[in-house]
Structure formats: C-alpha cells, structure tokens
C-alpha cells in the first residue's frame, strides 16, 4: 500500500506539472507586426492652373546601400499656388505604397519642412479617424518671392497625431517611425 501511494503521488505530481506547463503557453494569437514596406520611389507632383507641372522625385531602386538614389528637382514659379500629390512605390516588387498609406491613413502622416521661407505647405487631405487628422498625400503649396532652399519630406508611421503641433505639421512631437525621408533643393523664381 505504501508503495502504491508513492506511485500515485508521483504520477499525480507529474500529471499536475504537465497541466501547469501546458496551461502557461500563450493562449492568444501571436501579434504579427506590420513590417515596414520598402519604399524605393517618392514622387511629389505639383500642378498649377496654366503653369508647367513641377515634379520632385527620389528613386533608390536598390534600397539602402549600393547605388546612390536618383533625385530630380524642379523650379517653382513665384507667387503661385500649386496642388501637390505624393506617390510612393516599391518598384522592386511592383507595389503602390500610396494605396497602403491611404488604407492605413490614421497610422501615417507626412511632414514638410523647408529652409525656404517663401514656400508654405498646407495639408489638403485627412485620415479616416474620427479626429480628421491630416495625412499629406495631397497638399497645397504656395510660393511668394524668388528664393532658394531645401524641402524635406518625411513620412512617419504611427505618429502621435494628438501631440501638440502634430496636426499642424510640426514633427517635433510626432514620435513614430520614419518610413522615408527625402530632401530636395528648391528654387522659386
């Protein structure tokens, strides 16, 4: 009898341990991260009524490293209002990243900063959140007097759109991760 009690206790202990370890596993589905998409091309097309279209583009078809990107810059006309549209592509896989940004608009925002004080850029689109925050795939760019400078376009993934100044285009408090950042030389004449 004593031996069978020891066997019974031993088997009970093993069985309890197995149940304990099998119940300690993660019962929830694993979180699959939203992998950053490869963006090889950013095109910022600016159109104005009865004026030539201006296209700024960045192409890095081999991704980070390797060959240098090809950057095309343009000249803007003074005292002109342009409608701007950004297109993002992954030309390696033949994918439009613009569509993904549109579909996940609440999780993305473009930021525009420039050293040319004669350029002003305003958001012309909103995300699909209840707060109607800006996205930046569509903009209005206004020039004043002739000048030169740099224009930096930054796309942030999961910025804090409720942080101070972010909905006005201030990247300082945005947080999030940078999906792409490109700087262009800009001339207004």
* Structural domain includes residue 182: yes
User: With bands split at pLDDT 50, 70 and 90, how would you rate the model's confidence at 35?
Assistant: low
**Which residue would you say has higher pLDDT here, 122 or 63?**
122
- Distance from chain centroid for Cα 143: 26
Answer yes or no: is 18 within a domain: no
Beta bridge partners of 121: 141
Mean pLDDT of 47-67: 92
Give percent above pLDDT 90 in the chain.
Answer: 73
Q: CA nearest 43: which of 104, 84, 77?
A: 84
Q: What angle do CA 144, 146, 152 make, to 5 degrees?
A: 80
Question: Which CATH number does the domain housing residue 154 bear?
Answer: 2.60.40
Q: Which residues contact 10 (CB under 8 A, 6 or more apart)?
A: none
Nearest to 188 by CA among 76, 54, 45: 76
Residue 113 lies in a domain: yes
- Quote the pLDDT of residue 37: 73
Q: For residue 125, tell me if it sits in a domain.
A: yes
pLDDT, tens only, 104-152: 999 999 999 998 779 999 999 999 988 999 999 999 999 999 999 999 9
At residue 36 the predicted structure's pLDDT band, cuts being 50, 70 and 90, is: low
73 within domain boundaries? yes
Calpha distance 170→89 (Å, rounded): 25
Predicted confidence at residue 26, as pLDDT, reads 47
Q: What are phi and psi of 31, to 5 degrees?
A: -80, 125
How confident is the model at residue 12, as a pLDDT? Answer: 54
CA 116, 155, 104, 165 torsion-angle sign: negative
Enclosing domain of residue 183: 41-188
- The residues with which 141 forms a beta bridge, in sequence order, are 82, 121
Compare 62 and 3 and report the one with higher pLDDT.
Answer: 62
| 141-163 CB burial, b ≥16 within 10 A, e <16 | bbbeeebeeebebbbbbbbebee
> Is 183 within the bounds of a domain?
yes
Q: What is the number of alpha carbons within 13 Å of residue 141 lying toward its C-beta?
A: 31
Q: Is the pLDDT of residue 43 over 60?
A: yes
Judge whether 32 lies within some domain: no
Alpha-carbon span 20 to 71, nearest angstrom: 60
On whether residue 59 sits in a domain, the answer given is: yes
Predicted pLDDT at 98:
98
User: Domain tally for the chain?
Assistant: 1
- 63-68: average pLDDT: 81
């Amino acid at each position: 009898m004593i031996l069978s009690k020891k066997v019974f206790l031993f088997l009970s202990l093993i069985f309890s341990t197995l149940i304990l370890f099998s119940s300690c596993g993660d019962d929830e589905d694993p979180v699959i991260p939203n992998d950053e998409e490869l963006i090889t091309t950013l095109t910022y097309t600016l159109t104005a009524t009865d004026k030539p279209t201006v296209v700024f583009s960045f192409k890095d078809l081999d991704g980070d490293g390797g060959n240098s990107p090809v950057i095309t810059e343009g000249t803007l006309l003074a005292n002109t209002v342009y409608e701007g549209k950004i297109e993002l592509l992954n030309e390696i896989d033949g994918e439009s990243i613009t569509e993904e940004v549109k579909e996940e608009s609440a999780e993305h925002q473009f930021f525009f900063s420039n050293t040319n004080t004669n350029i002003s850029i305003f958001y012309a689109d909103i995300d699909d959140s209840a707060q109607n925050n800006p996205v930046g795939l569509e903009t209005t760019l206004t020039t004043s007097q002739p000048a030169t400078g740099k224009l930096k376009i930054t796309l942030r993934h999961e910025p804090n759109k409720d942080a101070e100044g972010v909905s006005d285009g201030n990247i300082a408090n945005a947080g999030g991760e940078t999906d792409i950042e490109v700087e262009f030389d800009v001339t207004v004449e």
